[in-house]
Amino acid sequence: MSNNISKISSPLDLIKLREKLSNKTVENGEKQQILVCFGGSCLASGAKEVRDALNAELEQAGMSDKVQLVETGCMGPCVAGPVALVGSDRTFYQSLKAEDAKDIVQSHICGGKRVERLMIADAEGKIPAPCRQDMEFFKRQTQVVLRNCGWIDPANIDDAIANNAYSALSKALTDLGPDGVIEQMKISGLRGRGGAGFPTWLKWNFAKTEKADTRYVLCNADEGDPGAYMDRSVLEGDPHAIIEGMAIAALAIGAEYGYVYVRAEYPLAVERLNIAIDQAREYGLLGNNIMGSDFCFDLEIRMGSGAFVCGEETALISSIEGRRGEPSPRPPFPAEKGLWGKPTVLNNVETFANVPAIILNGGEWYAQIGTDKSKGTKIFALAGAVRNTGLVEVPIGTSLGELIYDIGGGIINDKNFKAAQMGGPSGGCVPRQYLNIPMDYETLKEVGAIMGSGGLIVMDEDTCMVDVARFFLEFIQEESCGKCVPCRTGTRRMLEILERICAGEGELQDIDRLEELGAFINTASLCGLGQTAPNPVLSTIRHFRKEYEQHIIDKHCEAGVCAGLVRAPCISACPCGVDVPGFVSMVGDQRYAEALKLHRERNPFASVCARVCFHTCEDKCRRAQLDEPVSIRAVKRFMVDQEVMVQMPEVRENEKNAQRKIAIIGAGPAGLSCAYFLARLGYKPLVLESEPRPGGMLVQAIPSYRLPREELAREIRMIESIGVTIETDKKLGRDYTLQSLKDDGYEMVYLAIGAPLGVDLDIKGSGSEGVTEAMSFLRQYNIRGSVPVGKKVVVIGGGNAAIDAARTAMRLGSEEVTVIYRRTKEQMPAYAEEIEDALNEGVKLCTLLNPSEFEVEDGHVSGVVCQHMKLGEFDRSGRRRPQGDVEDEPEVIAADQVIVAIGQALDKQIVIKDLDVEFNESGWVKADSRTGATSVPWLFAGGDVSTGPSSVAEAIGAGERAAVEIDSLLTGEEHSFWRGYEDQGAHFDPDAEPLPYAREKLPTIPVDHRRHNFNEVEQPWSEAVALRQAKRCLRCDYGKQPCVSKEV
């Protein structure tokens, strides 16, 4: 600010001053600039130290005169703080430390060479966007409200004036007048950004036309939604925008005084706003006869002391008046009777910050941005599990997916997006099937959320939605003013129900109770806070009812969050419920046999799973928050390799059970697991297998370089040895039928025939020679021992079968194997490790390619014609849907063999022809996931036959659940003695620091040693490594006794 302040006493004065300042800035343009973000987040991560270091370095380099160091407000990309923009091209530097100042000054400022290590690089170390204007994060934004944030020094009014501050006020005073201002506001279509979206001009007009001697303008800066801080950033980064916006509003309605109600938790905002108010007063931009006109307006700050409810307008007014911040009934609305009973306009910070831009550029300009009903831009505070957390301003109507994936950079650790919590405690959760919806007031309301103030918390698969609902309700309970009964007591009762559910003490009626109470509170509460308080609960029930049911019925929290239900997140994540910390810690104690026995309590296929399990346990491992997850599967691999004598499980002989006839169809993981658990209860089930060898997909589809045949055979023998009979070459529909089993006296039948049919690709040329399908290709090799392969093989598909087929073909002598997939590599359903191994072995991967026809020569396939794909909108699974581009030249990949691996199916007409069994929408046998029960009372089903292709562990878990259900139907009692957890007494010191060892992978045999054989690729660890790795476990289970579904 210039030292010799002279009042701005006319609009011309303002123009002159701006011109003078702009000229200075032009001069400065020759000077270099370093803009250091002084937003709250960057300050917290050390922006001040960086600024000091830069100052010192500049001085030392003698550059202090030539470089202007500016402390700006928030720039937006808060996760990367402290951040700075350097030089005329605005190079973006992130995660700065004081030590980096030297490099920036010497290399960039003095040497003209950018400091690459401080720039944002992609995974390969490439820097895609060095400058602000090139970065996706900024490029996709439209900054109206944030126009000056990050560009100007908020503590210097000259900086603001040079950037057009108060020009809109000048225009309003000279050209528009009160009616003109309201007219422009009406044209602009601006709606209140506090959340409710009430048309701003209409509110102003109400206050203007109400008869009164005095009117007030209030700014609501009591931002309190968890995760939202856009108002704070504007207050801190561009306070003059708010002062100007309020002054324009005051002019429009005829007010002479205003208050900014800021929460006391924003001391920096208060400080900068105070400075701005003082400076505006000194310039005569606040006070009497502003710019020489008759218009008088002044304002002051009122600090709120942390009551969330004071964001509600009547409560805010009550607080300004010096009373307890509590809402009062509306009507009368503040526009009629507000502060001290006078007509009052109350808007939030973001709304006011829009006003100068609208007045200056015209309402029509503003109305071009956004959607039909929701004009303009909206700031969102991206938080949670998204890579680029921070503030972003986009046109209203931008899709949620664009915000999260394009601007937000996607989900951290490439986890699955689950839902976005929008609008804070009054809002709701938007699940992934709505990633394409435009974010505007109406659409968000339709899906059960609200725009709110723009808080957007991104949640990944590790989030428990019941817990989220509980969290928000707890917040509301603490913040309810306690005035009206529905909010005070109703939300308390809802919270108590949720706490019960999270603790595993819920009952099914609780969901109805929550919905009833929620609907009641919605409609019966006194103020907006109460009326919207149940929304987080109602919206999670609406979109995630299944999760509530899991908590209540299964006593299971899939995300591994609810302490009362989760002994350790890995256990919750395991479809079989294996006591992971139990066996891992026993391995650490070298109690290998006991560890293996513990594993087989819940999952007989320890050795199989040590090799092929999808290990969802590792995805939920809490060690990942420290460094990387425990290598649970590899520890398991070491454990099973120590098995000398076969570890037999506990079997409870039972003469009565032994007499009962139970048939199990299919000797895959589901069928054998069901047989195993039945046998442990004394039953003697019969397993019928259509192929010559038992094992199902484990033997037919999974190649032996992943799962050596003997490992599988050994565990099957163990199952047989406890009383299970397996008959092979017995095919359902050929040798017997479901009805004939029933007629033969089988009381219960478990159908676990998997999804054995491959799916053909129905395009031109698909019938030609050389086109085969992956399931039969793999089965033929694995069972018969040989299969024809071509020289140039193309595999179509992205799942495990595709990769297995590709690697098998490679081993059988193909010269070139290409996998083509219509989506991206990240979206391939095959396990990432398998893809990497395949690539190492020389398999080529072509993604975003979709086969449109096969080229055929002499009846034999000669090539695959592919269309290039692009990612389009999001589908229901939250993945972007690939879309063909017709304009594009198709690509032809030469091939003499094509293996189609695009899915699996069930041949229900042939196998289940004599029984009226219900199927689900996807064509699989309809079976209760908890019990395996089908529509036929004596028939149960589990594994792929009822779910479609899924993981081995899922199938094993389903087999166990069906065994428990069958037994309980036959005996009328629960006998599942293997459920429930005991402390294994492994050594553990809860006070010790976690051991610092890094995660290790299993070693593999060199690629040239595996090309032409089927030797097992993965090799075990040495004992020393295994013990170290096992001890990485943090023992989340230590001292915990969670609820289990059924007491035994």
Partner 1 sequence: MINITINSQSIQVPEETSILQAARMINVHIPSLCNIENREAIGACRVCLVEVEGAKTLMASCSTPVKEGMVVHTQSKKARLARRTVVELLLSEHDGNCQTCNRGKDCELRSLAEEMGIGDLPHEGRKIQPHIDDTTPALIRDSAKCIKCRRCVTVCNEIQGVGALFPQGRGFDTFIGPAFCQDLKNVACVQCGQCAAVCPVGAITEKSSTTAIWEAIENPNIHVVVQTAPAIRAALGEEFGYEPGTRVTGKMVAALRRLGFDSVFDTNFSADLTIMEEGTELLTRLKKALVDKEDVALPMFTSCCPAWINFAEFYFPQFLPNISTCKSPQQMFGAVAKSFFAQKIGIKPKDMIVVSVMPCTAKKYEVQRSEMNANGVQDVDYVLTTREFAKMIKEAGLDFCSLPDEEMDAPLGLSSGAADIFANTGGVMEAALRTAYEIVTGRELPVDNLHVAPVAGLEGIKEASIVIENTVDDWKFLEGVELKVAVSHGLGNTRRLLEHIKANKGSYHFVEVMTCPGGCIGGGGQPRYTDDSVRLKRIAGIYAEDEGKKLRKSHENPDIQKLYAEYLGAPLGEKSHHLLHTHYKAKSKTVEDDVDAVAK
Among 103, 479, 594, 773, binds partner 1 (CB under 8 A): 479
From 160, 167, 241, 158, select the one nearest 14 (Cα to Cα): 167
Helix (H, G, I), strand (E, B) or coil at 23: helix
Instruction: Please select the residue that binds partner 1; options are 373, 445, 492, 731, rule is CB under 8 A.
Output: 492
Q: Would you call 574 exposed, middle or buried from its count of C-beta atoms within 10 A (0-12, 13-18, 19+)?
A: buried
Which residue from 237, 490, 588, 903 is in contact with partner 1, where contact means CB under 8 A?
A: 490
Closest contact distance (angstroms) between CB of 325 and partner 1 is 10
- In 3D space, the residue among 596, 604, 710 whose CA is nearest the CA of residue 959 turns out to be 604
Answer positive or negative: Cα dihedral of 736, 738, 739, 741: positive
From the list 472-480, 553-561, 860-868, 942-950, the region that binds partner 1 by CB under 8 A is 472-480
489 binds partner 1 (CB under 8 A): yes
Amino acid at 395: P
904/897 Cα distance (integer angstroms): 20
- For residue 443, give the 3-state DSSP assignment: helix
Contact mark string toward partner 1, 275..314, x via CB under 8 A: --------------------------------x-------
- Asked if 493 interacts with partner 1 (CB under 8 A), we say yes
Distance CA 282, CA 277 (A): 9
* 538 contacts partner 1 (rule: CB under 8 A): no
The distance of closest approach from Cβ of residue 523 to partner 1 in the complex, given in angstroms and rounded to an integer, is 5
Return d(Cα 945, Cα 213) in angstroms, integer.
Answer: 77
> Which of 423, 486, 506, 569 forms a contact with partner 1 (CB under 8 A)?
486
In the region spanning residues 785 to 814, those forming contacts with partner 1, defined by CB under 8 A, are none
Verify binding: residue 222, partner 1, rule CB under 8 A.
no
Around 831, how many Cα atoms within 13 Å sit in the side-chain half-sphere? 17
Does the protein bind partner 1 through residue 481 (CB under 8 A)? Answer: yes
Rounded to whole angstroms, the Cα distance separating 973 from 971 reads 5
C-beta of 497: minimal distance to partner 1 in Å?
Answer: 8
Our CB check for partner 1 shows the closer of 314 and 904 to be 314
Which tokens sit at 268? 């920096």
At 957, list the tokens: 């878990």
Contact region for partner 1 (CB under 8 A) — 370-378, 485-493, 633-641, 976-984?
485-493
Judged by beta carbon, residue 99 or residue 496, the one nearer partner 1 is 496
Contact of 103 with 41, CB cutoff 8 Å: no
Comparison of 506 and 694: residue with beta carbon closer to partner 1: 506
Please report how close the Cβ of residue 695 comes to partner 1 at its closest, in angstroms.
53
User: Is residue 537 near partner 1 by the rule CB under 8 A?
Assistant: no
Cα 30 to Cα 66: distance, rounded to the nearest angstrom: 8
HSE-up (13 A, CA, CB side) for residue 895: 34
Question: In the set 167, 525, 550, 897, which binds partner 1 (CB under 8 A)?
Answer: 525
CB 466 within 8 A of CB 557: yes
Shortest separation between residue 491's beta carbon and partner 1, angstroms: 8
Minimum CB separation from partner 1 for residue 710, in Å? 59
Alpha helices in 293-449 (DSSP H): 313-320, 349-361, 363-367, 400-401, 441-446
Smallest gap from residue 308 Cβ to partner 1 (A): 9
CA 542/CA 544 separation, integer angstroms: 6
Closest alpha carbon to 935 in 916, 948, 954: 916
Here the tokens at position 629 are: 């997850």
CA distance 715 to 710: 9
Pair of tokens at residue 61:
């380099």
Among 111, 177, 267, 482, binds partner 1 (CB under 8 A): 482
Stretch that binds partner 1, among 9-17, 237-245, 322-330, 846-854 (CB under 8 A): 322-330
Q: What share of the chain is helix, strand, coil (3-state, %, to 5)?
A: 40, 15, 40
Which residues make Cβ contacts (< 8 Å) with residue 124, sequence separation at least 6?
Answer: none
CB 623 within 8 A of CB 1032: yes
Complex with partner 1: residue 189 or 486, whichever CB lies closer: 486
Tell me 411's DSSP state: B
The secondary structure of residue 142, as a DSSP letter, is -
Residue ranges in 424-463 that form contacts with partner 1 under rule CB under 8 A: none
- Contact of 707 with 608, CB cutoff 8 Å: yes
Binding status of residue 341 toward partner 1 by CB under 8 A: no
Q: Which amino acid is at 693?
A: R
**Interaction of residue 539 with partner 1, rule CB under 8 A:** no
Per CB under 8 A, does 322 bind partner 1? no
Q: Which is nearer to partner 1, 483 or 1040 (CB)?
A: 483
Q: Could you give the C-alpha distances from 615 to 146, 462, 570, 633, 669, in angstroms and in order? A: 45, 15, 9, 7, 16
CA 237/CA 148 separation, integer angstroms: 7
Interacting residue with partner 1 among 56, 131, 196, 524 (CB under 8 A): 524
Of 365 and 520, nearer to partner 1 (C-beta) is 520
Smallest gap, in angstroms, from Cβ of residue 513 to partner 1?
8
**Residue from 89, 278, 414, 496 in contact with partner 1 (CB under 8 A):** 496
Pick the stretch among 480-488, 543-551, 619-627, 973-981 that binds partner 1 (CB under 8 A). 480-488
Query: Between residues 476 and 864, which has the closer beta carbon with respect to partner 1?
Result: 476
> Quick check: 687 and 696 in contact, CB under 8 A?
no
CB of 544 to partner 1, least distance (A): 24
Minimal distance in Å, beta carbon 24 to partner 1? 51
- CB 482 to partner 1: min, Å: 2
Candidates 473-481, 702-710, 726-734, 993-1001: pick the segment binding partner 1 (CB under 8 A).
473-481
Cα–Cα distance between 581 and 1013 in angstroms, integer?
36
Q: How far is CA 908 from CA 342, 600, 833, in A?
A: 75, 33, 34
**Would you call 900 helix, strand, or coil by DSSP?**
strand
Applying CB under 8 A, which part among 229-237, 492-500, 588-596, 898-906 lies near partner 1? 492-500
Of 478, 655, 858, 916, the one binding partner 1 by CB under 8 A: 478
Do residues 804 and 701 lie in contact, with contact meaning Cβ atoms separated by under 8 Å? yes
Query: Site for partner 1 (CB under 8 A): which residue of 28, 95, 214, 328?
Result: 328
Q: 100 CB contacts (<8 Å, ≥6 apart)? A: 50, 53, 93, 115, 118
- d(C-alpha 156, C-alpha 683), whole Å: 84
In the set 139, 324, 764, 1001, which binds partner 1 (CB under 8 A)? 324
Q: How far is the CB of 480 from partner 1 (least distance, A)?
A: 4
- Establish if 211 lies at the interface with partner 1 (CB under 8 A): no
Among the residue ranges 236-244, 475-483, 667-675, 678-686, the one whose residues contact partner 1 (CB under 8 A): 475-483
Residue closer to partner 1, measured from CB, 133 or 209: 209
Q: Which of 62, 112, 331, 937 binds partner 1 (CB under 8 A)?
A: 331
Strand segments, DSSP code E, in 54-150 are 67-72, 84-86, 91-93
> Phi and psi (nearest 5°) for 312?
-75, 135
Out of 7, 140, 373, 488, the residue judged to bind partner 1 by CB under 8 A: 488
- Tokens representing 620 are 């939920």
- Counting contacts by CB under 8 A, is residue 318 touching partner 1? no
Subset of 28-47 contacting partner 1 (CB under 8 A)? none
User: Of residues 326, 440, 841, 967, which one binds partner 1 by CB under 8 A?
Assistant: 326
Give the binding range for partner 1 (CB under 8 A) out of 471-479, 599-607, 634-642, 805-813. 471-479
- Closer to partner 1 at the Cβ: 316 or 667? 316
User: Of 279 and 531, which has the nearer Cβ to partner 1?
Assistant: 531
Q: Given the rule CB under 8 A, which residues bind partner 1?
A: 307, 324, 326, 328-329, 331, 476-486, 488-493, 496, 513, 517, 520, 522-526, 531
